[in-house]
Chain A
Amino acid sequence: MPVKSYIQAVTQALSEEMERDQKVFVLGEDVGKRGGVFRATDGLYEKFGEARVLDTPLAESAIAGVGIGAAMYGMRPVAEMQFADFIMPAVNQIISEAAKIRYRSNNDWDCPITIRAPYGGGVHGALYHSQSIEAVFANQPGLKIVMPSTPYDVKGLLKAAIRDDDPVLFFEHKRAYRLIKGEVPDDDYTLPLGKADVKRNGSDITVITYGLCVHFALQAAEKLEQEGIDAHILDLRTVYPLDREAIVEAASKTGKVLLLTEDNKEGSIIGEVAAIIAEECLFELDAPIQRLAGPDVPAMPYAPTMEKHFMVNPDKVEKAMRELAEF
């Protein structure tokens, strides 16, 4: 099976969907001739032409809003925000419009748009090229938020997002783009939105996370295995709405739960995961729920020392997992 990088899986999914369905098109800043600043849309302009790989003016609310209009007409737009941090001018379009179009029209209109954005830190991107912004959107029924961890998941979930009849925010970890490689079949496959995935089976402790942190947990688990600690790792994949069933099952399996995110701890996705566990299976637990996350400071500083201090990394994860196992 071909091995591809995380970002190659993005490009392949886009290309396959554009080939499959004439209604799929891409719009955003620098997505055309340049093929995207990260090269996520590399080759699409040459293959599908400028009408379907549209370089837009530098205006995020229009990128989202024009995409929303096209989606209401019946197209399948894939809008790119150049960095997740720059989605803020489009928040009104996403929350007031995309999220509510089906609901407010009592199912008369719908909005099948996909909005892709690279998020996450560890790339010397400082405050405004490093943020995790999923929590901004994760209490907005009507939206779906997908944050894949592996190239295989990227392809299957992005294709599913494009085919989904509702708006999907698809956040790609920018450090994973070239760091993470994996097997990606050339066939046409999709993976279900709203379903978490067990990335490692284990019996001592449970780690629930998403995105790049999945790899930190997997690396830590390899090391801890030598110490006789067997970790169970659940990858949320869709962070909104959450897969409650999978969360409860994973938490109940070991009774010791560590929740991981590189977002700021307060008000993040994992707080909701903790609440679900507390509501549904508190008496299955053998230890207090643990959270490892970014610190509650506004965003990630630029200097390497401070960036490193902010970021979750395999060492921090390993330490937290060991402590939980020893509880």
Chain B
Amino acid sequence: MTENRHDKLGLSDEQVLEMYRTMLLARRIDERMWLLNRAGKIPFVISCQGQEAAQVGAAFALDRAKDYALPYYRDMGVVLAFGMTAKELMLSGFAKAEDPNSGGRQMPGHFGQKTNRIVTGSSPVTTQVPHAVGIALAGKMEQKDFVSLVTFGEGSSNQGDFHEGANFAGVHKLPVIFMVENNKYAISVPVSKQLACEKVSDRAQGYGMPGITVDGNDPLAVYEAVKQAADRGRRGEGPSLIEAVSYRLTAHSSDDDDRTYRQKEEVEAARQEDSIHTFSAYLRELGVLTEEKEQEMQNEIMSLVNEATDYAENAAYADPETIFNYVYAE
């Protein structure tokens, strides 16, 4: 008999269903974007597939009415959980004027939406880490009790900005949650050629914070770790480093061919642990999800994705003259 793990974490059946729905929505939007890319309708895709459990598990552990998210380019699950909609993500995919992330200025995956406290990001990796520390510092100065969650890949944990930011947060005991989404590849370079230590979480020790590694395919394990880190942060005990290990199920991006550096068998094996299936199985075994409910959810999501695609495809591009807007305050 399957043990009810979410109940022990204080999560209701409705909440775990909502987590699953968010994971599935991210997956379906992502899959649609690949289709659109291969059909020549959008120039670029960078995928969340394989990392939805870590992203959604982490976001649901936060107070999404006040905490800050500093996502990286794969974090569709994080931004959906923080309030971005399928339509808004599609507008970004099509680079249309109404895209709330950037008005079509940035590539897809460069998230940002102030009303939902999703902090704008760039392409040079890891630059968002010190920003998360700065936001937490500001919160501490203003005596607020929010935390900031910053996510990045295991390759990014080699960048100076990770180390400088983590050390700063450790010294000043700031409420930052550093979450590494270890998908085992930095484009083509495997973890073994990225890290001299066994785990990314080993790096926490150097910065005076706890570091743990959890199964990134298990949204509940990630939820639990992030919840504890958020509680720690709110209690004034400082930052935490969480490494969520999963796998990148797609190529790095629509411009990459992963067959040139990894075996098909390896990818197939990872698909067996795909959280979309394993979490669905968990929910079904407990009777929280039924075949009927799942079908209903799939239908609802497909129509949402269809509507979003149609809307975004037909939406207007920004007027080229607006290229001059917002270089400085106007």
Contacts and interface: CB of A to CB of B under 8 A. Distances in A.
Contacts of A144: 328
Nearest to A79: B134
Contacts of A69: 119, 130-138
B173 interface: no
A68 B161 CA distance: 13
Contacts of B124: 92, 96
B112 interface: yes
Interface string A67-95: 11111111101000000000001001100
Task: Give the contact-size bracket for chain B.
Answer: 35 or more
A107 B325 CA distance: 8
B115 to A, nearest CB: 8
Given A61-B161, A66-B137, A97 B131 contact: yes
A52 interface: yes
Nearest to A66: B134
B105 interface: yes
Given A59-B168, A105-B102, A108-B114, A66 B328 contact: no
A313 B282 CA distance: 77
B130 A104 contact: no
A57 interface: yes
B244 to A, nearest CB: 23
A65 B105 contact: no
A52 B130 contact: no
B206 interface: no
B129 A101 contact: no
A71 B120 CA distance: 13
B164 A59 contact: yes
Nearest to A25: B141
Interface in B51-89: 68
Given A51-B141, A102-B326, A141-B327, A62 B114 contact: no
Interface in B240-273: none
B168 A166 contact: no
A110 interface: yes
Given A89-B160, A97-B127, A142-B327, A66 B165 contact: yes
B9 interface: no
B83 to A, nearest CB: 14
Interface string A94-118: 0011001111111111100000000
Nearest to A75: B138
A219 interface: no
A56 B165 CA distance: 11
Given A69-B132, A106-B103, A61 B138 contact: no
Contact of A104 (B114, B120, B139, B171): B120
B122 interface: yes
Contacts of A103: 105, 326-327
Given A65-B134, A69-B132, A104-B120, A109 B329 contact: no
B106 interface: yes
Given A25-B141, A62-B168, A93-B130, A106 B122 contact: no
A65 B130 contact: yes
Given A65-B133, A68-B134, A96 B122 contact: yes
B116 to A, nearest CB: 11
Contacts of A165: 328-329
Q: Which 8 A-B pairs have the closest CB atoms?
A: A69-B134, A65-B130, A106-B103, A69-B131, A62-B164, A73-B138, A165-B329, A70-B134
